[in-house]
Structure 1
Amino acid sequence: MKIVLIVVGAAAGALAVMFLAACIAVAGAIECMRALEEITGM
């Protein structure tokens, strides 16, 4: 049972890290687009 819990915990941790990385990437892309729009708009 302990092995199963460790595997499930590791999988959940990996998913959480991937989700956070995706959120940061999306937020960064949105900020980049806004900055580019401001630069090109001026």
Structure 2
Amino acid sequence: MAAVVALWEAHANQFPAETLQQQMQQGPVVILFVAVTVKLREG
């Protein structure tokens, strides 16, 4: 199962995406997000 996550503003700038991409080459990476606001959209 996968989830699509979008980050905005300071959260997007602080997220270490490049580091995580390098780590994913070696194996699975688990990310825990806390205080998430969920919005459901059709389509």
TM-score by length of 1: 0.29
Q: Which is richer in helix? A: 1
Larger Rg: 1
